[in-house]
Structure 1
Amino acid sequence: MDDATAPDISARFLRLPSIAERKLGADYAAPIRLDPRILEQMQQTIRDLGTQYAGTIKAQVGSLFAFIEPACMAGSAEARGQLYSLAHEVRGIAGTFGFAIVGRFADSLCRYMETRKSLDPTIMRFHVEAMYDALQNADCDPALADETLRSLEKLTEASKTDERSYG
């Protein structure tokens, strides 16, 4: 292949605007430093909302139990979507308000649901029970929570292998 027929493999770098630039316009200039008073206000707001969120997250996790069986049935896209939506919300917000392990269990549940066509109600229930137990025992041993999470992930992987071998 000579130089005339060689493909052009030069690289180009594109600068994509940040979210703030897209929302606030081209004149937006990022702040160099955040005012410590504003930072303290933000942290206080998160603490205040965290107190309210404790009740909300318990209700959300409690409602997951009702969706397990319907979500695992064939043709249950609506129930599956509702369960996933709730678990996804818990996954995204729980850590912000001091429920990090609950968020990790919710993340594991979401990843399980994202990778499976059919859902095992036992695996689903184990995930939701782990979230519920973590909420009831906020001062639980982190090592125990980590081991529970590893066990859930092993169970999920074993289930994935079983599904491949059957069809």
Structure 2
Amino acid sequence: MTDRKNKNRGTSNGEKPADVRFVRVPSIAERKLGTDYVAPMRLDPRVLEQMQTTIKGLEARYGDTLRDQVRTLLTLVEPACGGDTEARGRLYAIVHDMRGLAGTFGHPMVGRFANSLCSYVESAGMDAWRDDTVFRFHIDAIREALDSPGADPAITLETLNALQKLIAASAAERRRMG
């Protein structure tokens, strides 16, 4: 056993201490995400609670923002599908924001419907804008999800499945038309 004076020089009986080597084991996140991964710092639970309170407060206001955005989307569909590139850009930007923010602020199905529409535009490219049907059905689904937040999840998932079938039918039609 070492005493306080000798703890860094050796053992109390004069033996040389064993070599000590520290081995750093990478975390699971580092193994999956690479060595550039930086672990998030731990937050004080009081700060986390304050953040959650802030998000809850923003949630109510975000619902109103979403309703305004749905009205804007409905006015943008016709010009966007008619060739107006500015309307296309605005429509896509709004839907893209919905895709990213809706789930955070308590509207996960709005986010899923918006994701479906964004994915359609991203995969179909310019062909997406030939017909407004897919856009209108997605916007109607978003509006319905906002108006009926307590809707049966099975029904909303069935709506999402129906939208995916509509997208598939639209893609098949585009292929057929050449």
Q: Which residue of 1 aligns with 2:87?
A: 79
User: How far is the alpha carbon of 1:15 from its aligned partner?
Assistant: 3.4
Matched, 1:142 2:162: no
Structure 1 residue 38 and structure 2 residue 47: aligned? yes
| 1:62 maps to which of 57, 67, 71 | 71
The 5-angstrom pairing of residues 12-161 of structure 1 reads 15-16=35-36, 18=38, 30-31=40-41, 33-74=42-83, 76-116=84-124, 117-118=126-127, 119=129, 120-161=131-172
Distance 1:56 1:101 in 2: 16
Per the TM alignment, residue 157 of structure 1 is displaced from its structure 2 partner at its CA by: 1.1
**In the alignment, which residue of structure 1 is the partner of 2:26?**
none
CA pair 56-30 structure 1, distance change in 2 beyond 3 A: closer
AA in 1 matched with 2:43: L
CA distance, structure 2, for counterparts of residue 115 and residue 97 of structure 1:
27
Runs of 4+ that moved beyond 2 A: 14-18
- Alpha-carbon separation, structure 2, partners of 1:122 and 1:138: 24
Q: Which runs of 5+ in 1 are unaligned?
A: 1-13, 19-28
The aligned length equals: 142
TM-score by length of structure 2 reads 0.75
In the aligned structure 2, how far is the partner of 1:79 from the partner of 1:121? 13
TM-score by length of 1: 0.80
- Identity across the alignment (%): 48
Aligned CA-pair RMSD: 1.6
Listed as ranges, the gaps of 5+ residues in structure 2 are 1-33
Larger gyration radius, structure 1 or structure 2: 2
Take 1:39 and 1:58, find their aligned partners in 2: how far apart are those partners? 29
